[in-house]
Amino acid sequence: MSYQLPTFRHPELPVNELGYTRADYEGAISTLCAGCGHDSISGAIVRACHELSLEPHRIAKLSGIGCSSKAPTYFLGKSHGFNSVHGRMPSVVSGAAMANRDLLYLGVSGDGDTASIGMGQFAHAIRRNLNMVYIVMNNGCYGLTKGQDSATADEGSASKKGDANPFSAIDLPGLALQLGASFVARSFSGDKGQLVPLIKAAISHRGFALIDVVSPCVTFNNNAASTKSYDFVREHAEATGTVDFIPMREEITASYAAGHAHEVTLHDGSVLHLEKLSEDLDPFDRVSALVALEQYRARGQILTGLIYMNKDSRDLHDVLETSRRPLNSLREEDLCPGNKVLVNINASLR
């Protein structure tokens, strides 16, 4: 059951360029557990989309199955949504993106949905550089079926039941880098200051943009022995640097000291400003990104922020050379060769 939010809104809520308030980007009331990290991520999505002045109906939000995949109900109520089947959101987005290249595709998944049943589809969406934002709400456990370890649970980490996980974890940003992802970031649901600009940058990036968000499960995986608990992540997260995103519509006034900052102009004219803090990371070099991820992991720390970005990314439509007009807008005159051509084909078959 989804409960709708009350329609009353304060008349003085700030509006964006389209005249929408933040409430216009919200969805139904969440039925996730109070304190669930996923709700914070939903809030960050709402804020990012509002601040970017995106038209809600031009966003398609898709998910698989699981707690995380329920989350799209709780944001962007004016967007078309698709709760597909377990682990198969990437293929549905692939088809949808082929049909209409002009919408923004926001995929939401979980660690079970992505790193187990959906691993194959996740990997192949990356290698095709599908133009989408892929957010993993990563809590290291299966909340809907009462707390089993997922494939992203760290070795030795224990869920509520208390048994330490005997298996090594799949690190989604590391995997994505190896598979050639063109945008890889990690964040923490409790760090909106970092997450919101990352989401904005991911939206403006052309190609596959992964944001792996550690999002504690308050019910089954927020205990002292868990490496995906609020306390653990707060104590062990290390940011690559500060990330600031300046949409193309705003006047660009930011100025930073040379040698400490990168400014990247994205394909839509937006500017991504990165102030580098991590000594080990060049976010435009895949090898450096992989090395940094491993180094932080070896230290028992979680590297967050923008980990890698390919500034010259070509998305799937670029590679396939598909029509600039959305395929779903083509009509008989564009698609059907007519009987005259068929007459010639018949003649060639005799």
Q: Per rule CB under 8 A, is residue 96 in the interface with other proteins? A: yes
- Taking the CA atoms of the chain, what radius of gyration do you get in angstroms? 21
Cβ atoms of 48 and 196 within 8 Å: the answer is: yes
Q: Per rule CB under 8 A, is residue 53 in the interface with other proteins? A: no
Cβ atoms of 125 and 80 within 8 Å: the answer is: no
Cα 16 to the center of its chain, rounded Å: 23
Q: Per rule CB under 8 A, is residue 22 in the interface with other proteins? A: no
CB of 105 to other proteins, least distance (A): 9
Both structure tokens of 101: 């290249």
Cβ atoms of 305 and 185 within 8 Å: the answer is: yes
CB of 43 to other proteins, least distance (A): 19
Judged by beta carbon, residue 10 or residue 324, the one nearer other proteins is 324
Among 22, 80, 236, 297, binds other proteins (CB under 8 A): 80
Q: Per rule CB under 8 A, is residue 279 in the interface with other proteins? A: no
Quick one: which of 192, 193, 159, 187 has its CA closest to 173? Answer: 187
Q: Per rule CB under 8 A, is residue 330 in the interface with other proteins? A: yes
The span from the CA of 274 to the CA of 271, in Å, is: 10
Quick one: which of 112, 224, 115, 113 has its CA closest to 160? Answer: 224
Per CB under 8 A, the segment of 85-93, 150-158, 176-184, 191-199 that binds other proteins is 85-93
Q: Per rule CB under 8 A, is residue 90 in the interface with other proteins? A: yes
Q: Per rule CB under 8 A, is residue 323 in the interface with other proteins? A: yes
CB of 103 to other proteins, least distance (A): 5
Q: Per rule CB under 8 A, is residue 15 in the interface with other proteins? A: no
Quick one: which of 260, 313, 306 has its CA closest to 283? Answer: 306
- Name the 3-class secondary structure at 74: helix
Among 97, 115, 181, 271, binds other proteins (CB under 8 A): 97
CB of 19 to other proteins, least distance (A): 11
For residue 121, what are the contacts with CB-CB under 8 A and spacing of at least 6?
87, 88, 89, 90, 91
Binding positions for other proteins, rule: CB under 8 A: 1-2, 55-58, 60, 62, 72-73, 77-85, 88, 90-100, 102-103, 120-121, 123-124, 128, 317, 320-325, 327-328, 330-332, 334-339, 341-342, 345-346, 349-350
